[in-house]
A = this chain, B = another copy of it.
Amino acid sequence: MATILDVAREAGVGVGTVSRVINGRERVAPATRARVLEVIDRLAYAPNQSARSLSMGRTDAICVLVPFLTSASVNARLQGVVEAFRSSGREVTLRVADTPEQRDQAIAAIVGGSKPAGLIVISLPLSEITIAELRAAEVSTVAIDVALPGVPSVTVDDVAGGKLATKYLLDRGHRAIGFIGDDDEQGLGFRSSTNRRLGYLQAMADLGLGARPEYIKTGPFGREVAHRLTRELLSLENRPTAIFAASDTQAFGVLESVAAQGLAVPEDVSVVGFDDVELAPYVGLTSVRQPLFESGKLGAAALLDLLDGAEVDDVPLSLTIVERSTVSDR
Contact = CB atoms under 8 A, between A and B. Distances in A.
Interface string A1-21: 100000000000000000000
A78 interface: yes
A112 B46 contact: yes
A232 B277 CA distance: 30
Interface in A88-113: 91-96, 102, 112-113
Interface string A44-72: 00101111011000010100000001100
A1 B108 CA distance: 12
Contacts of A32: none
Contacts of A218: none
Nearest to A280: B282
Nearest to A52: B50
Given A49-B114, A50-B53, A69-B82, A94 B93 contact: yes
B282 A252 contact: yes
A86 interface: yes
A195 interface: no
A271 to B, nearest CB: 14
Contact of A113 (B49, B83, B112, B279): B49
B114 A91 contact: yes
Contacts of A1: 112
A51 B283 CA distance: 52
Contact of A94 (B51, B82, B279): B82
A206 interface: no
A305 interface: no
A51 B57 CA distance: 10
A75 interface: yes
Contacts of A48: 54, 113
A194 interface: no
Nearest to A116: B91
Interface of A: 1, 46, 48-51, 53-54, 59, 61, 69-70, 75, 78-79, 82-83, 86, 91-96, 102, 112-114, 252, 278-279, 282-283
21 contacts: A1-B112, A48-B54, A49-B113, A49-B114, A50-B50, A50-B51, A50-B53, A54-B54, A69-B82, A69-B83, A70-B79, A75-B75, A82-B94, A86-B96, A91-B95, A91-B114, A92-B93, A92-B94, A93-B94, A282-B282, A282-B283
Given A61-B93, A82-B94, 12 more contacts: A46-B112, A46-B113, A48-B54, A51-B54, A53-B53, A69-B78, A91-B95, A92-B95, A93-B93, A252-B282, A278-B279, A279-B282
Which A-B residue pairs are the 10 nearest by beta carbons? A50-B53, A50-B54, A93-B93, A69-B79, A51-B54, A54-B54, A92-B94, A50-B50, A91-B93, A282-B283
